[in-house]
Amino acid sequence: MEAPRLYSTKPVQSLKPTKKIPLEEDLGKASDALPLPLYLTNALFFTLFFSVVYFLLSRWREKIRTSTPLHVVTFSDIIAIFSFFASFIYLLGFFGIDFVQSLVFQPSPDVWIAEDEEEDNEVLLAKEDARKVPCGQALDCSLPPLPPAAPIVTTQKVCDEKPLMVIPEEDEEIVKSVVSGTTPSYSLESKLGDCKRAAAIRREALQRLTGKSLSGLPLDGFDYESILGQCCEMPVGYVQIPVGIAGPLLVNGREYSVPMATTEGCLVASTNRGCKAIHLSGGATSVLLKDGMTRAPCVRFGTAKRAADLKLYLEDPDNFETLSVVFNRSSRFGRLQGIKCAIAGKNLYIRFTCSTGSAKGVQNVLDFLQTDFPDMDVIGISGNYCSDKKPAAVNWIEGRGKSVVCEATIKGDVVRKVLKTSVESLVELNMLKNLTGSAMAGALGGFNAHASNIVAAIYIATGQDPAQNVESSHCITMMEAVNDGKDLHVSVTMPSIEVGTVGGGTQLASQSACLNLLGVKGASKETPGANSRMLAAIVASAVLAGELSLMSAIAAGQLVKSHMKYNRSTKDVSKASS
């Protein structure tokens, strides 16, 4: 169906001639009246001006020495004075008048706009007058037609003047119904059966409602079917984040190219330098200490004694096997690892640690407990004692997800040549910054330089939950001089790295490609959970590289210089985005 043709509502100003421009005549210049070329005339007057000034200064100096009155002048003095004024007037008229007028009589912006429009009108009139064919009855003597206006989406004004996508006629009614509130925006996918079309209609309705353009937000080139019902609701586009590669990162004898999605300058380059230092020193060693996700429902009783009775029952080792059987029925891979309880008056918080964090397993245990504790009131399946997406001491102490320690011994030559600092400086800086400074700030799991930078970049690139960067970035960085102070031993301990390789954002095309680059895409066919554990080891090793490089930059005084060079760009990228 052909879309209706719309035209721009911008008024077209009429053409009014203000000057007559003879096209065939060549206007003469003022400089043509001079007997000499312009550059020779200017050189002559410049020479005359400075020569006369020098002569007069010399004469006045001589008069002062001989005590001659200054008002007594000779014929040569009179000629010099006359030449001075003549050359000064010429130079002022040639160079100074226009400059002074431009400063004193600065026109307003409207004048410049009027002059530009006037020049455009004059050009059109000149073209009209320059016709070679005389006007006759059979000739069209009207002005050339203006170029056709580009089609616009609606007659409503959008603040941004960037071009917008043309909405087909059949979608126009749907857009209007969304704007009026007749059709809920969230129901477009189910009503239309086309996720891409639903996103385009929702996007246009949003622009009309807000009066703001979304032309800089991409719409095409994304599979909206892949996020339906699991990743994002009511999409109107997607945000582009560049992905850089740090590496090769040598961990446990294997090399990895680490994808990092970030908009922070220097981050990938700094991590890459740390990877180089680790690689030249023989690589890093990563060890998985614990692997267990936690869930902590909150239950309430009529008395604190009843809450304490359940706490004692759950923490009794003799009851753990029975509870494990009930819990493990929920999943083939879900295995209960431990139960820890905290009581607050009549309220009891039960922290289940299991291999998959199965909510169904937790619900099975609660249903089982209702038999012996019928007065138990379940307040919520999650009572924040987990603790998820919040900084918490329980995660720092007990761990959540994957607990990993990673270490490397950096050779002294590498510290000096690659990291541009010394072992002594790094050890001292780490003690005063990461340990003492963080303690002074009352840090909770933040005894590091910038672990969250690397964790967030890898999480976004590989489809992890970015909000879990909060507890996943818990890290303590340790540095120590070894081998008689020649080499540097550096380690990071991260008790709560929460990663996965199945479900959520990991199935999207871009994120899946990054997981495939690391060799941890999807579920492991040999050992369940092996890919997620390997990903956690890679994250910890990349943090080790980032910590090593940033600490070296601070110790060597390179941090400010590098950020001013790479992270303070003055380039305007707004046009490139369009």
Q: Catalytic residues, which ones?
A: 264, 389, 465, 563
Q: How far is CA 374 from CA 293, 302, 303, in A?
A: 28, 11, 13
126-134: list long-range contacts, CB under 8 Å, 24+ apart. Answer: 126/21, 126/23, 129/23, 130/23
DSSP string, 491-516: EEEEEEE---SSSGGGGSHHHHHHHH
Place of tokens 């029975």: 322
For residue 58, give every residue at least 6 positions away whose Cβ sits within 8 Å of its Cβ, in sequence order, or none: none
Q: How far is CA 106 from the centre of its chain?
A: 41
The answer to whether residues 427 and 488 touch, using CB atoms and an 8 Å cutoff, is yes
For residue 160, give every residue at least 6 positions away whose Cβ sits within 8 Å of its Cβ, in sequence order, or none: 212, 213, 215
Cα separation, 327 vs 339, in Å, equals: 11
Q: How many residues does the chain have?
A: 578
Of 294, 373, 358, the closest CA to residue 326 belongs to 358
Cα separation, 532 vs 335, in Å, equals: 16
Tokens of 113: 């706009």
Cα separation, 488 vs 424, in Å, equals: 9
Q: How far is CA 506 from CA 172, 240, 487, in A?
A: 35, 17, 39
Cα separation, 438 vs 4, in Å, equals: 65
The answer to whether residues 476 and 493 touch, using CB atoms and an 8 Å cutoff, is yes
As to burial, measured by CB atoms within 10 angstroms (0-12 exposed, 13-18 middle, 19+ buried), residue 380 is: exposed
Give 290's strand partners. 403
Give 450's strand partners. none
Of 493, 487, 495, the closest CA to residue 427 belongs to 487
Written in H, E and C, the secondary structure of 405-421 is EEEEEECHHHHHHCCCC
Q: How far is CA 428 from CA 422, 437, 446, in A?
A: 10, 12, 18
Of 551, 550, 555, the closest CA to residue 567 belongs to 550
Tokens of 403: 């607990």
Place of tokens 């099975």: 364
DSSP string, 282-347: T-BEEEEEEEEEEE--EEE-SSHHHHHHHHHHHT-HHHHHHHHHHHHTT-SS--EEEEEEEEETTE
